[in-house]
Chain A
Amino acid sequence: MILEKRAQTPIETRSYGKFYIIFSGILFLGTMWAVWDEVRIRRPWKEYQSNYHEILVAKLDSLQNANVAQLDSTQVMQLDADLEQANAKLDSDEYKKSVSAKTDLQKKLDLATREWRFARSRSDASYYEYKKSIHEGKEDAKLKKELDNHDADIVKFANEMDDLNKKIAEVDIVINKYKDIVDSLTAMKTKMFAKANAVGLKLERARKMPVQIKQVVLTDFEFTPFNEIKARVDRCQTCHAGWADELMADVPQPFKKHPMPELLAKHNPEFFGCTTCHRGQGPALTAGFAHGDEDHYWETPLLRGNDVYASCNSCHTNETALKFAKPYVRAKQIMLDSGCYGCHEIKGFIDLPKIGPQLNSLPTKTQPEWIFRWVKNPKEYNQRTRMPNFKFSDEQAEAITAYLTKIGKESTYQFAKARGGYTGGNATTGKQLFEAVGCQACHTLGENHVVRDSRGTSYDIAPELTRVGSKVNADWMFDWIKNPRHFNPETRMPSLRLTDDEARHIVAYLVTQKDTRELPAVNLDLNSTDKIARGNKLIREYGCAGCHNIKGMESEGKVSVSLSDFGRKKVEQMDFGDTKEVPHKAAEDYNENSDGSIAVKHTWAGWVRGKLKNSRQYATERIAQKMPVFAFNDEEVNLIRMLLLSMTKDTPLPSYQRTFDKRQQDIEAGRRVTMQYNCIQCHSLEDRGGYILPKYEEAAMGPPMLPESQGAKVQEPWLYGFLHNPSTIRPWLQIRMPTFSLTDDEISKINKYFLGMSKQELSFRDYAATPVDEKYLTPGKKLFETYQCAKCHPTGAVKLGGAVSTSDLAPNLTMASSRLKPEWIIDWLHDPSKLQPGTRMPAFFFEGKAPDETVFNGNADEQIKALKTYVWSIGAKRKSPVAMGN
């Protein structure tokens, strides 16, 4: 209608005004919106930053108020009043007069100084003229007189200056009398307000903070896949603005302070950026893109929770202990314990010993029926064994048993005859010994699982012995515990130096530990060559030789894929079999459905979680899976997954990497030896381990912790001898330090590890030649008596029995000079529990005070030196100088 009407109007008289207004209105609004969208909507970081500034200002403000409130108001008022009064006095006549007098004097002084300078110049000129006349042979007496006059002027003006300076100094005394009061009061006020002012300054700065992008640029951080240097830009701090501020400890993200300042101290974000460890998309400025959740093409999304520790592996691949990365350390330990490297090649897990025992002489140890059951499902005998379940069928298990029995029959291993077999033994004594000497550190038996619990892994580090009486035969067990290396030269199981009788008692006890379950009988055909050949094939196929030494399999390689770049495997390359899919948005990536089926998220993380939970679940009718089923708990699965996530070939350029110097290499090499022999099961080392300690009511009744200062404590040659053949140091301990039959190389590594940890250099030193300072020897002996050190420490051979029992004894001091480093004795006497928390040794010099004030006037340092000198002299024998080898 309207258009029709409009069409009737002649073109010349039609008006377009309304259209112009409407369209220009739309254009205007559109432009406004575009501007708004550009500067605000698309830049959410601006709002974050303004919010941060608001929070910061509010926090500083309240801090400022608190600081001001803390000031004693009466004191402030008093000070202000005093200051006002002092300032008022500056108006007094005396002060004013003095100031104006000083100004006058200063003017006069300036004048006199000028005159003095002129006189000097004139004198110099006259002196030249006069000398010139002499040199020309006609000495001018007139010039001489002129010169003398000028010199007299110099003296005159100099005197005048002195005079004026003195007068000024006099006036200054008066002036300062007034000014000093004002100055000291002002200083007091500044001091009083220092804290508040410092906050005030911050507050002022916070108020003026501009809203801007904050970025860190790492110009030469890493290589591209084409081996070109690639830079990295991180803008995370634009929103995560409070990461370094103590005030931001309790505010919500993104402003919260970083929870691990210790880590940041070593990885300063201003140098390393944030994505180096946290991943995510550095240059992005919206949360979704920066964290990578909304950008599905971004390959390295933010690492959440413990997964962030995966980043440690980029640079710290070689290290197994990082002080501030406990989950990383634990993950590595789990992977090491579980022997993943038996089948997979893994970065950082190279050249490690096989984790399982040799399988070449099994018939001497156990019966074929037991082997069969074990091969079928190890967890059925020992729920917490580290051996995973290969889910072999009866036929497969029988074939493997047949092969193992066959090679076992060919074995040359025999029980050591000289020792005699197992006879007799008292089970009750055996039980006591088993519980005392240290078997329980690694082996759980029955209901006592204190050590297992404190270790906190889902698997045991050594076989549980609850049913061992039905597994191994007594003769074998006797031979084994007497010397484990005889049966298996590569075993980690140490010797506890049991006497034959002790070993017999323990065997007598262990053989009573029977499997009480009713097991179905098995009928095995072990002699068929077909079966043996099939067993051989299965063992090769399933890679048993990855963990066990098996005759005929010495040259087998790793049966599975390399994991060294597994962290970058694409989800498209992963086969999820028949598993159902958990939606992406769900919290959990693994679900056991009520109908028994399993669902996983179809992501990298989901696949790995599913694989580690049940390695066979992605199998289908056509695709077989050989990886055995482990029994990791959820925490372990997550830790292993974190470590797998870290398996990439990406490493930053060397300037961003930690320098792995000689000392650190020594430490790591020794640490690996201690891990191999599981030293931390008993000894707490580097904040780890000591798992056996909860067994004891008191720490001092268990194995000693090995503090960082261990290398500063014992002499290198002594440690060498001790590790070769341990001897009693702490007579009150029932648990024994085992003999591990370490090689010289291993001992040397442990020695250097301890030295490195305590920052000591390996030095060639003749400890026996430590000079004895005679000045200290006699007072030392006296103090030794006053302080009654011998009440606990024997100083010679000890006869046990009667009044003396081992529990009353402390280490024999005849050992001191051949065991300890002299400097360490001094540190020890200063504060024993600082070096060895929980030690039985009391502090004699608590807070640097000596109990006996008559020797060296009670000077604790001198007394300690004296005691050290005397202790060192006990049992010290001058030997021919001994040089120690490297």
Chain B
Amino acid sequence: MKVLAIGIVTLCLLSSAVAGDVTGKVSFDGKAPAAVKLKMNADPICMKGHPTDVYGEEVVVNKNGTLKNVLIYVKDGLGGKTFPAPNQKLVFDQIGCAYKPHVLGIQLGQELEVLNSDPTLHNVHSLSKMNTQFNQAMPIKGMKITKKFDKVETFKVKCEVHTWMGAYIGVFSHPFYAVTGDDGSFTLKGVPAGDYTIEAWHEKYGVQTAKVKVDAAGKVTADFKFKGN
């Protein structure tokens, strides 16, 4: 046992020694489409949670001209390496009749806890093509269900009760993914040295790719640029 433990520790050390980070920014060029005001009045409970107008999250351009909710991940280059699913589960919340987060990455076999924080009926309908679809009702506030995914794909999740509610889940076989936030930057941490294809996916603007070479303990930059119409 001890030998094994030592082995693992050294392996970890070694791998961190020959791994680097991929960082970058997703900028946005051109004119962003006007944000869509959501008509939540079909469900008064949804209205209650929002004293001001709510806008859709399809295209969110940050103040610094970057694009939010872009999913960045290693597409190719890891070869046959496998990565065990982390024990820690991710939370996917339905709050104020919107999904939090709007775009979420998860690893194969990792637990996803779907939570309903609203005192109204929500249902999570996954429109997955590879993973088994599910469509479960969560009529009671605080209800939780747990899901796991066994196929790599990015799919949409929607609520049939509140048609404006939509989110995206990316399932990966590795932990090297990130979603851009309010500053449009991302970091893929601890990517083993090697040549990779990195992909940036956006629900409206599609996919962009970049090739990077990660050297031992190096930092590599990969910037993406999406264009509006």
Contacts and interface: CB of A to CB of B under 8 A. Distances in A.
Interface string A764-795: 00000000000000000000001110011000
A788 B159 CA distance: 14
Which range holds the interface residue count of chain A?
20 to 34
A838 B133 contact: yes
Interface of A is mostly: loop
B42 A787 contact: no
Interface string B133-152: 11111111001010000000
B39 interface: yes
Interface string B33-52: 00000010111000000000
Interface stretch (A582-590, A601-609, A840-848): A840-848
Nearest to A852: B140
Contacts of B43: 791
Nearest to B135: A842
Interface string A827-847: 000001100011111111010
Contact of B135 (A802, A803, A841): A841
Given A786-B139, A842-B136, A851-B139, A803 B41 contact: yes
A844 B139 CA distance: 8
B110 interface: no
B123 interface: yes
A804 B44 CA distance: 12
A838 B135 CA distance: 9
A781 to B, nearest CB: 15
Given A840-B125, A842-B160, A808 B42 contact: yes
Interface in B155-173: 160-161, 163
A803 B140 contact: no
Interface string A381-416: 000000000000000000000000000000000000
Given A803-B39, A803-B41, A846-B145, A792 B161 contact: yes
A698 interface: yes
Contacts of A698: 127
Contacts of A837: 133
B121 interface: yes
Contacts of B41: 802-803
A807 interface: yes
Contacts of B136: 842-844, 846
B135 A851 contact: no
B221 interface: no
A614 B161 CA distance: 56
A403 B136 CA distance: 65
A787 B39 CA distance: 23
Contacts of B123: 842
Interface of B is mostly: loop
Contacts, number: 61
A832 B134 CA distance: 11
A804 B41 CA distance: 8
A840 B120 CA distance: 17
A808 B139 CA distance: 17
A336 B138 CA distance: 49
A833 B121 contact: no
Contacts of A791: 43, 120-121, 161
A837 to B, nearest CB: 8
Contacts of A804: 42
Given A698-B127, A791-B161, A843 B139 contact: no
A833 B134 CA distance: 8
Contacts of A843: 134-137
Nearest to B121: A788
A837 B125 CA distance: 12
Given A803-B39, A842-B136, A788 B127 contact: no
A230 to B, nearest CB: 52
A837 B126 CA distance: 12
Given A788-B120, A808-B42, A851 B138 contact: yes
Given A803-B42, A804-B42, A842-B160, A832 B135 contact: yes
Contacts of B138: 851
A808 B163 contact: yes
B42 A851 contact: no
Contacts of B121: 787-788, 791
Nearest to B40: A803
B133 A851 contact: no
Nearest to A838: B133
B113 to A, nearest CB: 15
20 contacts: A698-B127, A786-B140, A788-B120, A791-B43, A791-B120, A792-B160, A792-B161, A802-B41, A803-B39, A804-B42, A808-B42, A808-B161, A838-B133, A840-B125, A842-B123, A842-B160, A843-B134, A843-B135, A851-B137, A851-B139
Interface of B: 39, 41-43, 120-121, 123-125, 127, 133-140, 143, 145, 160-161, 163
Q: Which 4 A-B pairs have CB atoms at the shortest separation, nearest pair first?
A: A842-B123, A788-B121, A842-B137, A840-B160
